[in-house]
Structure formats: C-alpha cells, structure tokens
Structure 1
Amino acid sequence: MQIHLANRTAIVTGSTAGIGLAIASGLAATGAHVVITGRTQARVDEALVATAKQIPGARLTGIAGDLGTRAGAEHLIKQLPEADILINNLGIFEPKAFFDIPDEDWQRFFEMNVMSGVRLSRHYARGMAERGWGRIQFISSESGVQIPSEMVQYGMTKTAQLAVSRGLAETLAGTGVTVNSVLPGPTRSEGVGDFFGKIAAEKGLSQEEVERDFIATHRPSSLIKRLATVEEVANLCVYLASEQASATTGAAMRVDGGVVRSIV
C-alpha cells in the first residue's frame, strides 16, 4: 500500500515529541504539508529541525501556542484557517491517588486533553465538510476503556475523547470527513520514558526493568508484554489519515498491544 498525501495539510497537536512527533514525521513522509505545534517556539523549532533531518524535503510549518486554552486555539486558527487532516494528540498525564486530585486538576486535564480537540475540531471540520474530504483523529488511550486507578482524572478525559469522536463522526455522516479515535496502550514516549527513568533512578534499577515490572504489575493483560514504540502508534494514525481509510469512521482503533481484553 502506497500512501500519498502530497495535496493535504495536516495539523498534529502536541507534536514536538513522543507520539505526536512520530505522527508528524509519518505524515511528512507521505508528502503532506505538516504543521507541528507545541507550547514554546524553542520546542517547535527543535522538532522542525529533527523532522527535516529525518525526512529530507519535508514540507513543514511550526506554530507555537498553548492549545489547552481558547486563546491558543484561536491563535492557531488565525495562523492556519484551513486544514485537511487534524490529529488531536495533545494531552497530559499524571499518576495521582483519587483522593489527592483537587478540582483544579480535573479542570486542567479536561481543558488540555478534551477541549483542545473540541475547539479545533469545531473549526476545521466545517471546512473539511464543505470541501467534501477530511480526516480527524483523537488520540485517546486504552485508559479510556480500562480506567487506571492511579490516574482516574486522565482516564476520564480519554473516555470523553471517545464520546466526542463518535458524536462528531455521526454529525459529519455523508460528508466525506472521517472521525476516529486511536487507543494506544503503554507507549515509550518521551513523557513515559522520563517517568520510568525517574523511578529507575530512585530504585537503583534499569529503565528496562522498571518497564517490565510496570507491564507485569499494572498491564498484565498485554499480549506483546512490552511498551509499544511511538512509531507503531503513528503507523496506524498515518493509515487513518490516508485516502485508503475512507470507509473507517466512528471507530475506536486500538494499538494497545492487546491490553484491552475484548474482541471488539
């Protein structure tokens, strides 16, 4: 299968590192014009350099701003009024006991993980529908299906993304615009790597040992028995953004290593 998106513009939120950067790189390799976003110009510039080095000739634009706020979303929309592909990848996580999560954290997680995608989808989906083609994805998580007790606030937002994604797909029925969720399992992203690295240093273990213990203890249903790579997640996202994925919409697509014990 050859995926060509040379005539498409793709926005990937939270794409200066981790899964977002891998998705941006994957889309750039198909010829798409890719917009990399991040909170600071410095981080955006670093990602642009890294992607251009990895994919010579890549067509890239960088836009900095806090997309977890209304002002940040409005800034991006002003800079780029139209897009063909929107990957709502921006998200935060933080392990914290339920009884220690204050109201402010619930609001912060919802604004960042859910409303960032709602605001951008509300704007860009209209143009996609008018043109008769578009791709929207919400990068959710297996934690939206199996809520982790160590970060209920995170799981809540990932379940909310599934609801928004399906509802938007229903809204856009028959327009040529597809909307899907992607559910990664434990993935060796920059944030997760830093988290496990900190635990490894505190316990005097290697990071590989910490990762294996996490899978065995907290995700024992994993069938691959390891963390996924960001590229493995990005591969699915690139396919869903393609012309070939035109019959896949309203779906929650898992790339979770088999963590969710379900056949559908």
Structure 2
Amino acid sequence: MLIDLSGKTAVITGSTAGIGLAIAHGLAHAGASVVVNGRTEERVHAAIEYIRLACPDANVRGVAADLATAEGCEKLVNAEPHTDILVNNMGIFEATDFFEIPDADWQRFFEVNVLSGVRISRAYAPGMVKKGWGRVVFLSSESGINIPPEMIHYGFTKSANLSVSRGLAKRLAGTGVTVNAVLPGPTLSEGVMAMLEPSAEKNGMSVEDTAREFVKAKRPSSIIQRATTPEEVANMVVYVCSKQASATTGAALRVEGGIVDTLT
C-alpha cells in the first residue's frame, strides 16, 4: 500500500518529541506539508531540523504555542488557518495517588488532554467540511479503557478523548471528514523513558528492558509483552490519515500490543 498525502497539510499538536514527532515524520515521509507544534521556539526548531534531516524533501514548518490555553490555540489557528489533517496528540501524564490529586491538577489534565483537542478541532473541522475531505485523529490511550489506579485523572481524560472523537465523527457524518481515536499502550516516548531511567540505573538495566519488565508487571495482559515504539504508533496514525482509510471513522484503533482483553 502506497500512502501518498501530497498536496495535503497536516497539523500535529505536541509534536516536538515522542509519538507526536514520529507522527510528524511519518506524515512528512508520506508527502504531507507538516506543521509542527510545541511550547517553545527552540523545541519546534529542533523538531523541524530533525524531520528535514530524515526527509530532505519535506515541507515542514512550525508554530510555538501552548495549546493548554485558549490563547495558545488561537495563536496556532491564526498562524495556520487551514489544514486537511489534524492530529490531536498533545497530552501529559503522571503517576499520582487519587487522594493526592488536587482540583488544580484535575483541571490542568482536562485543559491539556481534552479541551485543547476540542478547541483545535472546532476551529479546523468546518474548513475540512467545506472541502469535502479531512482527517481528525485524537491520541487516546489504552488507559482510557483500562483506567490505571495510579493515574486515574489521566485515564479519565483519555476516556474523554474517546467520547469526543466518536461524537464528532457522528456530527460530521456524510461530510467526507473522518474522526478517529488511536489508543497506544506504554510507549518508549521521551516522557516514559525519563520516568523509567531512575529505575533502569538503579537496577543496572537498559530503559528498554526496564520498560519490558514494567509492561509485564503493570500490563500483564499485553500480548507483545513489551512497550511499543513511537514509530509503531505513528504507522497507525499515518494510515488513518490516508486516503485509503476513507471508510474508517468513529473508531477506537488500538496500538497497545493486545493489553485490552476484549474482542471489540
């Protein structure tokens, strides 16, 4: 299957590292004009250079904006008023006991993980409808189905991503615009690797092996018995953004190695 996104523009939020950067690279490799987003000019510039080094012919640019705020979302949309593809990737996570999570953290997780995608989708989707073609993707997580007891606030936001993506897909029925959610499992992103590094050093193990042991201990239903890579998740996202995925919408597409033990 040859995925050709030439002539399409793709905005990927939170794409200066990890899964977001892998998605931006994958879409650029497929020929899309890619817009990278992060909170600082330095990180956006570094991501652009990384993609250009990997794909010398890539058409890539960036917008530094904090999408956790309405002002940051407005800055992105003002800089890039139109897009054919929107990947709502930006998100945060942390392990905190339920009884130690203050109201402010619940609000912060909602603003970053949920409301940012709502605001950006609300801004871009009408333009896609006018063109009769578009792709909107929300990065959810297997934690949105299997709520982790060590980060309930995170799982709550990822469940919300599923609700928003399904509802928006139904709202855009028959328009040629698809809306889907992609659900990674534990992934060797920059954030996860940073979280695992102290344990890896303490036990004299590599981060990859530490991640494998984490999956076996904390996600024992995993079929692949390891963490996924950002590229593996990006491969699914690139497909969902493709012209070939025209009949896939309103779906929750799992890239979590079989952790979720259901048939659907």
Instruction: State the TM-score bracket (shorter-chain normalisation).
Output: over 0.9
Where does residue 15 of structure 2 map in the other structure?
Answer: 15
Q: Secondary structure at the match of 2:128?
A: helix
Where does residue 27 of structure 2 map in the other structure?
Answer: 27
Would you say the 8 A contact 2:216–2:226 is kept in 1? no
Where does residue 68 of structure 1 map in the other structure?
Answer: 68
Matches of 2:213 and 2:244, distance apart in 1: 39
- Residue 201 to residue 163, structure 1, CA distance change in 2 (3 Å): same
Shift of 1:177: 0.1
Matches of 1:253 and 1:216, distance apart in 2: 22
Where does residue 90 of structure 1 map in the other structure?
Answer: 90
TM normalised by structure 1 equals 0.98
Matches of 2:132 and 2:6, distance apart in 1: 17
Matches of 1:154 and 1:200, distance apart in 2: 24
Where does residue 107 of structure 2 map in the other structure?
Answer: 107
Shift of 1:205: 4.1
Matches of 2:57 and 2:204, distance apart in 1: 43
Shift of 1:208: 3.6
Which consecutive residues of structure 1, in runs of 5 or more, have no partner in the other structure?
Answer: none
Where does residue 239 of structure 1 map in the other structure?
Answer: 239
Aligned length: 264
Where does residue 181 of structure 1 map in the other structure?
Answer: 181
Which consecutive residues of structure 2, in runs of 5 or more, have no partner in the other structure?
Answer: none
- Aligned-partner residue type, residue 119 of structure 1: R
* Mapping for residues 113-128 of structure 1, pairs under 5 Å: 113-128=113-128
Where does residue 46 of structure 1 map in the other structure?
Answer: 46
Shift of 1:200: 2.0
Q: Secondary structure at the match of 1:225?
A: coil
How much identity, in percent, do the aligned residues show? 58
Where does residue 259 of structure 1 map in the other structure?
Answer: 259
Q: Secondary structure at the match of 1:221?
A: coil
What is the CA deviation profile of residues 142-199 of structure 1, one whole-angstrom value per residue up to 9, with x for unaligned ones? Answer: 0000000010000000000000000000000000000000000111011101111122
Shift of 1:215: 1.1
- Aligned-partner residue type, residue 169 of structure 1: A
TM normalised by structure 2 equals 0.98
